[in-house]
Amino acid sequence: MGNILKIGTLAGLILALSACAVGPDYQAPTKANNVDVASTYEKAEKLTNWWQAFGDEDLNRLINEALKENRTLFQAQANVLRAYSIFRDSQNDLLPKGTLDVGYEAGKNPTVLESDDNTLARGYNTGANLTWDVDLFGKVRRAIEASLAEAEQADILWHDAQLQIISQVAASYGDYRGAQFRLRVAEQNLANLRQTRTIVKARFQAGFASELEMARIDAQVFEVEATVPQMRTLLARADATLSALLAKKPGELALNAEPDLPQLTQPVALIPGENYLRYRADVASSERALAASTARIGVATADLYPNISVSGFLGFMSGPGLTLGGETKSWSVAPTISWQAADLVSVKARIRQAKASSEIALAQFEQQVFDALADMQFSLQSYNFSRQQQQSTKYQWQASEKAMTLARQRFEAGSGEFLELLEAQRDALRSRDLLALQEQQSFNRLVDIYRAFGGGLSVI
């Protein structure tokens, strides 16, 4: 009875001591300077379907395929599985470990005694070997905290990978449609110029146009012709990028031939007072990295204290010809205390290293907050500026078209100069191409807004 009480008392003492964990308990930052970052990460409700607001069937199909086939997403998802497997493995370190063993041993001349000359010795053993590291000072528990934070970080990064792939597909789709539209504009402009050249050539042969006028119209035709391969190169690049994102060969996209850029029928809306930082996976990922670094301080600090482990055996041991039974039953218990007393200088150096890593992680987290705020603000401003620029370019193109029409009418009536017509045509061609480029830019900057806000914006 006394032995049982002693064992119970010892077990209770071990459990009480193991309830402690050295090192700092993690507290998530609530502010970065004067910026409130108290909200925890939240996956935006429309993270993987915000693009549907554009109502573009081709874009919907491309993104759905990318979410299923993109290899970067495969890697991110596999990384989540790996991280949680590491976490579950670290949890098992709190439990005793054991193996079931069956052994046989044979030897000759087991000792140096003459009486043992030519003696053969054989033995059998079977049973369970157990070991248990008693986590008195929380080294294992801090390691579990760190691995859990890293697993949660991997999960957050998987969400971020989805957002990034969606944004890349949408932006590349904008590049594709933009290049497609600019190519059509260039081909239409080239057709119009060739018609003008036909008229000028007829006038030149009739003696009503000079060689200079003929050379000027030829130069303008060749200038526009030179832009066609450029547009086709941009189109091929966008096709190759989209194909890679969808794990396809270039040329297999089968997109609609109409070069229409997706348009929103309603503007995006910001909710006053909403903390959009909670949708930013990069901020949340940095916070989880900080949590893991803080837990690693406890892992290093635990080495300042002794480590207690218990090993044991329970089974049977017998010699040749003996059967396994009560007479051959065997057990052993071997508690061990180890302490890095002679290496405390290195232990303290590792603690300082862990603390420095935690300070680095905190600085990275705070910087990520400021970078995210700047990214969100700039995405809104750049989109607004792009829309203003697009509107002005539209007015420029309309004015250029009117000027070209008037110049052509004057030239055909014989009251206008041919050089005026050429200049008017050049202005109209350039402004139309610039307008197409601005429309593409506005779309891509709208995609940047959704990316910057983690897919957390809504359309009103």
Percent of the chain, pLDDT > 70? 89
Please determine, for residue 428, whether its predicted confidence score (pLDDT) is greater than 80.
Answer: yes
Note whether residue 115 is domain-resident.
no
Q: Is 12's pLDDT higher than 60?
A: no
Assigned domain for 321 exists:
no
**Average pLDDT taken over every residue of the chain:** 85
pLDDT greater than 80 at residue 241: yes
Helix or strand run (H / E) with residue 107: strand 97-108
Q: How confident is the model at residue 117 (pLDDT cuts 50, 70, 90)?
A: low
Task: Please give the pLDDT value at position 1.
Answer: 47
Residue 83: is its pLDDT beyond 60? Answer: yes
Q: Could you report the per-residue pLDDT of 268-318, keeping only the tens digit for each?
A: 777 887 888 989 999 999 999 999 999 999 999 998 999 888 888 887 777
pLDDT exceeds cutoff 80 at 436: yes
Domain that holds residue 61: 20-92+137-305+345-459
98 closest CA partner among 75, 131, 59: 131
Tell whether 6 is covered by a domain: no
Write the pLDDT tens digit of every residue in 399-418.
Answer: 998 998 898 888 777 777 77
Least confident interval from 256-260, 308-312, 317-321: 317-321
Domain count, the chain: 1
What are the backbone dihedrals phi and psi of residue 120, each rounded to the nearest 5 degrees, phi first? -100, 130
382 in a structural domain: yes
Rounded alpha-carbon distances, angstroms, from residue 220 to 31, 91, 190, 211, 247? 60, 74, 9, 14, 41
Q: How far apart are the first and last CA of the chain?
A: 76
For range 81-98, the mean pLDDT: 90
pLDDT of res. 6:
44
Give the pLDDT band (50/70/90) at residue 8. very low
Overall average pLDDT of the 59-67 stretch: 92
Beta strands of 194-353 (E only): which ranges?
A: 268-269, 307-318, 329-338
Read off the CATH number of the domain in which 86 is found: 1.20.1600.10
Q: Which residue has the tokens 């590491």?
A: 86
Residue 127 lies in a domain: no
In a domain, 336, yes or no: no
